[in-house]
Amino acid sequence: MAVVNEKSSFITNLDAEPRVLNTAGLYGGVTRSYTIVHEITAADSDTSTYRLLRLPSNVRLLGSSTISWDDMADTGSPTIDIGVANVSGETRITDDPDAINDGLDAAAAAAKTTVIKTIDNYGKQLWEFVSGQTTDPKGDLEIYVSIVDADVNLGGTLVAQFDITFD
C-alpha cells in the first residue's frame, strides 16, 4: 500500500499552463430537475411503453436521478427498462429501449434506484447512452420506460426524477 496525493481533472485543468477550460456541464453547470409521476394500470401488458421526458440530445444526465415504483405484480416477473428514443416521426437515432437501465424488478415492493445503471455513465450526454451512436444528433430525444418480460397485474405509481445539466 502507498499514500497517494492526486488531483481531480477539475483541479488539474485549473493548474495547467495555459489553463484548460472545464466542461461546464460536468463542473458547476446549472442543474435542472424534472419529476414525472405516471400511473400504470393493472391491465398494462408486456412491452407497454411510457414516454416520460423530452430533452435536447446534449444534456447531461446526472447520477442523482432516481426512479421509484409500487409493487406492480404478484405473479410473473415483469421488469422495467429505461431507454432513449426519437421524437415521434424523427429518425435521429436508432431507438434503444434499455439504453439507460434495464432489468429493474417491477414486482418489488416500494422499490427505488438510480435511473442510470452504472456509475461510469453518470454525467454522460443523453445521446451517449444510445448503443452505436458516435455523434450528437443535435435534436430532441425522449426518455421512456418499458414494461418487459411479463405483464403487470397490480398496477401502481411510477415516479422518476431526472436531474440534468447543460454544457
Residue 68's pLDDT is 97
Query: What is the DSSP code string of 86-124?
Result: EPTT--SS--EEEEEEEEEETTSTTEEEESSSSGGGTT-
% of the chain beyond a pLDDT of 90:
76
For residues 68-76, average pLDDT: 93
- CB of 102 closer than 8 Å to CB of 82: yes
Tell me, which fold does domain 30-165 have in CATH? Jelly Rolls (2.60.120)
**pLDDT one-digit tens code per residue, 103-122:** 999 998 788 999 999 999 99
Instruction: Round the average pLDDT of the chain to a whole number and report it.
Output: 92
Residue 135's pLDDT is 96
Residue 86's pLDDT is 95
Return the DSSP state at 77.
-
Return the DSSP state at 30.
P
Question: H helices of 1-142, where?
Answer: 9-15
**pLDDT one-digit tens code per residue, 37-66:** 999 999 999 999 999 999 999 999 999 999
Which backbone phi and psi does 101 adopt, to 5 degrees?
A: -160, 160
Q: Which three cell numbers stand for residue 103?
A: 432489468
Is the pLDDT reported for residue 2 higher than 90? no
Q: Say what the pTM is.
A: 0.88
Residue 153's pLDDT is 93
- CB of 147 closer than 8 Å to CB of 48: yes
Residue 23's pLDDT is 76
CA 24 vs. chain centroid, Å, equals: 20
Cα distance between residue 21 and residue 152, in whole Å: 49
How distant, in Å, are the alpha carbons of 39, 40, 119, 120, 145 from that of 74?
A: 17, 15, 31, 34, 20
Task: Show me where the domains of the chain are located.
Answer: 30-165
**pLDDT one-digit tens code per residue, 155-167:** 899 999 999 998 7
Q: Read off the pLDDT band of 20 (50, 70, 90).
A: confident
